[in-house]
Amino acid sequence: MADKIGKILIVDDDEDVLKAARLFLKKHVEAIHTEKDPEKIPTLLMNDSYDAILLDMNFTRDVTSGQEGLHWLSRILAVDPAATVIMITAFGDINLAVTAVKQGATDFVLKPWQNEKLLATVSAAASLHKSRLEVASLRSRQEQLSADMDQPFNEFIGSSPSMQKVYYAILKVAKTDANVLILGENGTGKELVARSLHRHSLRSDEVFISVDMGAISESLFESELFGHVRGAFTDASADRAGRLEVASTGTLFLDEIANLSMQMQSKILSALETRHVTRLGSNKAVPIDIRLICATNMNISKMVKRNEFRQDLLYRINTVEIHLPPLREREDDLPLLAGHFLKIYCKKYNKPLKGMSPSTINKFMKYNWPGNVRELQHCIERAVILSDSDVLRPEDFFFSPVKSDEESVVFENYNLELVEKTVIRRAIDRHKGNISQAASELGLTRASLYRRMEKHGL
């Protein structure tokens, strides 16, 4: 027996028509909703979705012109542009039927209908609806994939013992659907680990969606993560799937997860527990199936103790933790990494392949690399651009100065309120007013730093 058609809605003010349609179609359809009052159509569409909708052309207030049916056709398509609507008319007015199709109807049937014709029309409409949804989903995924592909991505380079532990953890965890929390300083390559986990997973043929949680404002959070329907807010001109929905069947990477406010954490936790999302402005719960990977450069365990991060959310996201070592702890990899970036940027800027003097490597070994691999990458790129020599020498590199005694904070006394206020002011000045960077250095979330600034009148 062929698969049943999904869910259909029939709107007609003739009770006999509704009974006849239900009696015949119930053997071929999983669910049938019938409605006599067209005024209830918007409510029905906001609370459910249908694979096909059969709509009468004429209701009691307007028996013959068909204008009432055209009105409700436009209302349906305004709520759900992907809807497939089959118009029902008892008068065989071909011109009216053509008008309805031109205005967005999928097809039409005449009363009294032939059962085989009705079934074929409903089946075709349901197939078309499924195709429209698949196209919309593919378009959303392609847009997100294109944005993600624009981001620079390089393979892991390094064979130090600390990195071998990372590789081992990736291979052990990747084939499972366990949620992973990646911990490490800025610039250590947390997203590379996330992508590697995805490539080696059973979901490798599906999408990988990366979201920088530190870059999403409170006002855009729900729309970005959960999506919205048209009209949900002023600029919502079309339905849009959120990142959680787009990532379904694939991998979702939430970078800088510790930057979330407690309110955002609560909403994320609810979605992860129920495995459903509801778009902003809608009541429909959409099921999701994701493999979750998160990352942070903050001490998230301390944040839990300070009541700045939900413990239940931490339990949910860190089934397995992977710790990425800072570059200063993997000195053996420095020559390999430097050579790797040197090849990339000589090719990018059409320069002959340069070498690197032993004194330059020695200088690298003595430097602390606060910016980790990302800082090394930028240093190599800058040196390749500016140097005219075939060999890069120590003077071609300008490192961030190491903290000197002049930079250290001196306190007149050790009153804790004064110490905290001074350290916060110094961090903000150091990062030229960049609150995110200052919060990161202080080991705080942005929200926590703002609260402390307000407390001290900064």
Q: Backbone phi, then psi, for 184, in 5-degree steps?
A: 170, 160
Largest pairwise CA distance in the chain: 94
| Residue-level pLDDT at 249 | 94
Q: Please state which of the four CATH numbers 3.40.50.720, 3.60.15.10, 3.40.50.300, 3.30.70.3040 is assigned to the domain occupying 161-323.
A: 3.40.50.300
Amino acid identity of 19? K
Q: Which range, 203-212, 223-232, 402-411, is most confident?
A: 203-212
Note whether 334 and 219 are within 8 A (CB): no
Distance CA 447, CA 186 (A): 19
| CATH-assigned architecture of domain 405-456 | Orthogonal Bundle (1.10)
Mean pLDDT of 214-237: 84
Q: Across 267-414, where does the E strand assignment appear?
A: 276-278, 285-287, 291-296, 320-323, 355-356, 391-392
Asked whether this chain's domains 5-132 and 161-323 adopt the same fold, the reply is yes
CATH topology of domain 5-132: Rossmann fold (3.40.50)
Mean pLDDT of 193-197: 93
| CATH-assigned architecture of domain 327-396 | Orthogonal Bundle (1.10)
Helix or strand or coil: residue 349?
coil
* Average pLDDT over the chain, rounded to an integer: 86
Rounded to a whole number of angstroms, the distance between the first and last alpha carbons of the chain is 72
Mean pLDDT of 114-121: 90
| Residue-level pLDDT at 404 | 43
Domain boundaries, the chain: 5-132, 161-323, 327-396, 405-456
pLDDT tens digit sequence for 395-450: 999 875 544 444 455 555 566 777 788 888 888 877 777 788 888 888 888 778 88
How confident is residue 133, by pLDDT bands cut at 50, 70 and 90?
confident
| Residue-level pLDDT at 407 | 47
Instruction: Give alpha helix (H) positions in 50-207.
Output: 67-79, 94-102, 115-149, 161-174, 190-199
Q: Which of 7-16, 147-156, 266-275, 318-327 has the lowest mean pLDDT?
A: 147-156
Question: With 70 as the cut, is the pLDDT of residue 147 above it?
Answer: no
Q: Judging by DSSP bridges, how do beta strands 5-11 and 107-110 pair with one another? A: unpaired
Find, among 13, 16, 53, the residue nearest to 33 by Cα.
Answer: 53
User: What residues have CB less than 8 Å from 296, skipping those under 6 apart?
Assistant: 181, 182, 183, 256, 257, 258, 259
